[in-house]
A and B are shown apart, each in its own frame.
Chain A
């Protein structure tokens, strides 16, 4: 008799509703979520949000933060992964914070995301042209140059940045700085 047979209908319903595995072979699915948080523009508010992730054991892949059009409000973009049940908790716990004004899971909608990357790579006269060609394909810019290193600036979706870094790997990367993602809901003017 498999475990499935011993579950009551109510237990099966609960598991389904929480996205938990039911049969023996099934696994719970974890997804990446991008969550935008509007909060009071203060160190205390920022601290509370970050602290929440460690105190509650939520996964935190990247965080960016900056002012918005209103100086008293800042906007955080948080990238986290987890099962649906956990992500629902993340957003409820964020909403509970007194300094948090708004929480939006962008992944449940159409959104645009960008990340900025600065990458310093060493070059020789042999590979200089090749490097610059690659950079051009990725729509990047040279922002600094010395006799043996170049620093590139590249913006785009995280996937594109990853691909670019992959391409640069064989040239001897000296240093990378990535901003983490920022994201925004699409306005969807011509939506269906």
Chain B
């Protein structure tokens, strides 16, 4: 059997459902065999390899399974680099198969050669260059195993052309044998007991929940513990949905653009229970003054996350679901009455809010209407910028895996292809893609792919005719010099753009048009419906902790720029 066929049969043996790929010379044999043997998985021909990588991420985040990408050598491989880096930063399990020039030409500056393994070394969990067809099936097996287990992440498998042409017998290995690869998924019992004791003693405890809780499917047990013990919950951007935000114990997102009351809770808590969260600088601001009174319990599967940024008093190295399941019976209702009253008072003192009396259209209003319409049941995928933060603030997430975004790398252009990947993975769910006018353009080519596959994705473009997030910083910290952030001259007509890609295009310019556009978009069932919302450019995301500032210096409303010098 040829290496190319072995590759395809290995993917089938691995249970792969969908592959996002783009052909080229180095992988032409794979595509040829694909036409011949008709594997079980669906191949989606993306129109840019970056889109393919983000689609695999979206698929992985929505389903909890491993996403798969297949591209050719050289430019095909380099086009996936941003997606690989994004998956690395956000711990997303994907496997990227890249074609490579024949082994005897490697290093010769051969046509479409690049050192894919070298280029991706620092942004992959692991990688393989398969030099012998007899190692191919086992490399595939190992790649999926590594991507999926422990702290998930991207794995690259580089496939030289001669290896794909070579012949050998096919046998998919049943087990992986990786003597150097260890991860600890069971936290120490003593630490779990200690955590329970710390929780029992705390007067002002707070759950600080991140992407690891979602990844481990720990949301339900977390919710049960928080309710049983009466402990308020804040989540990171990636933790959104791990705890229902309509619960009175929820204080929403913390950090740079988190709610004022979540950050107040952090600054006053005497115990933080960090669950699969990594103390990112967008969360902590100036480290020294963050959570100054809190002892910290940290549950994380990756020992290198522990005490990386903030010293942790009780570290439970292991899987969130396992640790919380064992913690649950040890936790008793806490004496948090006063603390909860205080938290509630903060919520009332400074809720999320925006102006809406002047009748002009704002992103927050659009997102609130969308939230009413979807009732927390849709999968919401966002891009990077102001609209991303407003979506995090205003959507109100109720279930794990219903919020997908690029947080660590902050990749503009992530959103639409990721939404497409989510739609392939979860065909029964409504998928809403929320981008800005700047970022949408960065991978808009995938619209026609989604249209070709009849995916009824609801595509929201929050068009402020600006690189809004950069504009916000320019207004606040750079004396309103709006250098190269005005897009009004270069933005396309988004309705026509949608139509040119075989999608439905809709537009709203005033608040009273919003519901109608949403209604029309939801009526479309056989292709993406693109909704352009023309919002005002002056709006800024608040609250805000300026970069590097202490969480105590949070700006809750619009102030004059002088306030920051």
Contacts and interface: CB of A to CB of B under 8 A. Distances in A.
Interface of A: 7-8, 10-11, 13-15, 17-18, 39-40, 44, 47-48, 51-52, 55, 85, 88-89, 92-93, 95-101
A188 to B, nearest CB: 27
Interface in B290-317: 292-295, 302-304, 306-308, 310-311
A18 B180 contact: no
Interface residues of B, number: 27
Nearest to A15: B311
Contact of B121 (A48, A85, A88, A95): A48
B307 A85 contact: yes
B303 to A, nearest CB: 5
A101 B180 contact: yes
Contacts of A7: 292
Given A14-B311, A89-B308, A47 B121 contact: yes
A158 B181 CA distance: 34
A10 B179 contact: no
B126 interface: yes
Contacts of A47: 118, 121
Contact of B307 (A8, A10, A52, A88): A88
Contacts of B182: 95
Contacts of A40: 180
A95 B178 CA distance: 14
A51 B121 contact: yes
B129 interface: yes
Interface string B362-404: 0000000000000000000000000000000000000000000
A17 B311 contact: yes
B304 A93 contact: yes
Nearest to B142: A98
Interface in B161-207: 178-182
Contact of A10 (B117, B295, B308): B295
B562 interface: no
B126 A98 contact: yes
B278 interface: no
Contact of B181 (A14, A39, A98): A98
Contacts of B292: 7-8, 10-11
Nearest to A50: B121
Contact of B180 (A17, A89, A92, A97): A97
Contacts of B122: 51-52, 55
B280 to A, nearest CB: 16
A14 B308 contact: no
B479 interface: no
B288 A95 contact: no
Contacts of B294: 10
Nearest to B308: A89
Contacts of A44: 117, 127, 129
Contacts of A101: 179-180
B253 interface: no
Contacts of B304: 89, 92-93, 95-96
B53 interface: no
B311 A98 contact: no
A55 B119 CA distance: 12
B338 to A, nearest CB: 20
A7 B122 CA distance: 37
Interface string B13-44: 00000000000000000000000000000000
B303 A92 contact: yes
Contacts of B307: 17-18, 85, 88
